[in-house]
Amino acid sequence: MLIPQLSAAESALCILLIGMAQVGGQEDGEKTTALKDLLSRIDLDELMKKDEPPFTFPKTLEEFEYAFNEHGQLRHIKTGEPFIFNAREDLHRWNQKRYEALGEIITQYVYELLETKCNLTKAILPLLVLIQGSGVVRAGQWARRLIINQDLDSGTQIPFITRAMEEGYSVMVLNPNENFLEVEKPSSTLPSQTEPLDEPAEKKERRDDKEGKKRREFYEKYRNPQKETETERIPIRENTSSEEHVLYVWDHFVSKAAAKNVFIVAHSYGGLSFVELMNHRETEVRNKVCAVALTDSAHNIWLQETSKSTQDWMQQHCCNWVSSPEPLDTPLDSMLPDCPRVSAGTERHELTSWMSFDSIFRFFSEVLEMKEDEEAEETSTNTVTTRSSSLKSKHQDL
């Protein structure tokens, strides 16, 4: 008798059926316990993965056996057919990974076309991320009070954005305070005056009181337009707080950005949100962020239980411009061992970002220049080492 070869998944199902048969004569409680124990030991996803081939794919279009024809269409070199996603049946994960591998090659191919056909030059720009404080301010604002009572320059992030673009930065403006969607509820109408027939007196009295209250609320809204509409707040998924928003933007945008040099300006509660980001993504932030300018930051390394390594990193890469009567950039004593503190040249909390504007960009320029010098020196050292090794190898060959 021939016994068919079973896949790992099919074997798992057979084991499951045998297990179920073995517990058939036990009591119901024992059956349930035994079945749960058996299922807990079986990871069907892992078993399915054992049947998959390794995720190793070609590195070039030629190795994929695809090329673009004269019409710009991707075609198989041998068959002339378009790209086939389901190259292997019943292996969706493998097909998806193969598709993604080809997509990476396409990305590099288009980059080459931009350089060769469009005469463009590929450059990785530094990235400036702006995070405002808490409250009513939204994307692009530092302080609504300054916008209304002073001017746009001091109250908005527009000067920061303009200056950053002039200096070759790409810019990302966060919106950490918009955590809910305001949805208008259906407007109420004046209660109906129709009275049901043969209604008991007590019930009629209760209904009159209830309708009287509704009528009073209706007329109150009529007299006060601000109460004319009611809204319902719907939380924005994964963005229900400033801290969540900053973490979400980091995971989905900043961490995936091509920029290798990221700079951050965080005002007030935005500084607290940045420190929370460090608490959750310390290694990623350390590898990608060059410098952080805090303005009257609300963070607290003790209350936020910040690690010693994060504190050390902040000492080297952060500076906090705080409200103070001292002249701009005057060093101030730090009560906590987190980062240097200097005067913003103003005692008004909301003005600290604007007053330290020039100092912040000077701070960033110095950090970037220092980093570029270090990279150039490292490249030079590596080049000398490589040449020396090559010469040594050449002489040994001779």
Phi, psi of 234 (to 5 degrees): -110, 120
In terms of Cα–Cα distance, which of 331, 294, 338, 333 is closest to 312? 338
- Tokens for 76? 């198989």
Cα–Cα distance between 277 and 269 in angstroms, integer? 13
pLDDT of residue 355: 97
pLDDT of residue 285: 95
Per-residue pLDDT of the chain (398 residues; tens, 9 = 90+): 333 444 444 443 333 333 334 444 445 666 667 666 665 655 555 555 556 778 888 888 888 889 988 888 889 989 998 988 888 877 888 888 888 888 888 888 888 888 888 887 766 678 999 999 988 888 888 998 889 889 899 999 999 999 999 999 999 999 898 888 877 776 554 444 444 445 566 655 665 666 666 665 555 554 455 544 577 788 888 888 999 999 999 999 999 888 889 999 999 999 999 999 999 999 999 999 999 999 999 999 999 999 999 999 999 999 999 999 999 999 998 877 889 999 999 999 999 999 999 999 999 999 998 988 887 777 666 544 433 333 233 223 22
pLDDT of residue 359: 97
Annotated active-site positions, please? 268
- How many Å from the N-terminal Cα to the C-terminal Cα in the chain? 69
Residues 6+ apart with CB under 8 A from 241: 176, 179
In terms of Cα–Cα distance, which of 287, 246, 250 is closest to 270? 246
pLDDT of residue 394: 29
pLDDT of residue 388: 36
Hey, which CATH number is domain 127-179+237-373, 1.20.1330, 1.25.40, 3.30.1360, 3.40.50?
3.40.50
86 CB neighbour count, 10 Å cutoff: 11
Query: Do the Cβ atoms of 292 and 275 come closer than 8 Å?
Result: no
- Tokens for 368? 């970037």
pLDDT of residue 57: 87
DSSP 3-state of 234: strand
pLDDT of residue 46: 53
pLDDT of residue 197: 46
Residues 6+ apart with CB under 8 A from 195: 204
Angle at which helices 8-22 and 28-40 cross, to 10° = 160
H/E element, 292: strand 289-295
CB-based burial, 14-42: b 16+ in 10 Å, e otherwise: eeeeebeeebeeeeeeeeeeeeeebeeee
Residue type, 49: K
56 CB neighbour count, 10 Å cutoff: 9
DSSP 3-state of 176: coil
Where are the domains positioned within the chain?
61-116, 127-179+237-373, 181-188+202-235
Please tell me what DSSP assigns to residue 25: G
User: Between vectors from CA 105 to CA 100 and to CA 106, what angle results, nearest 5°?
Assistant: 90
Predicted structure pTM score: 0.60
pLDDT of residue 360: 97
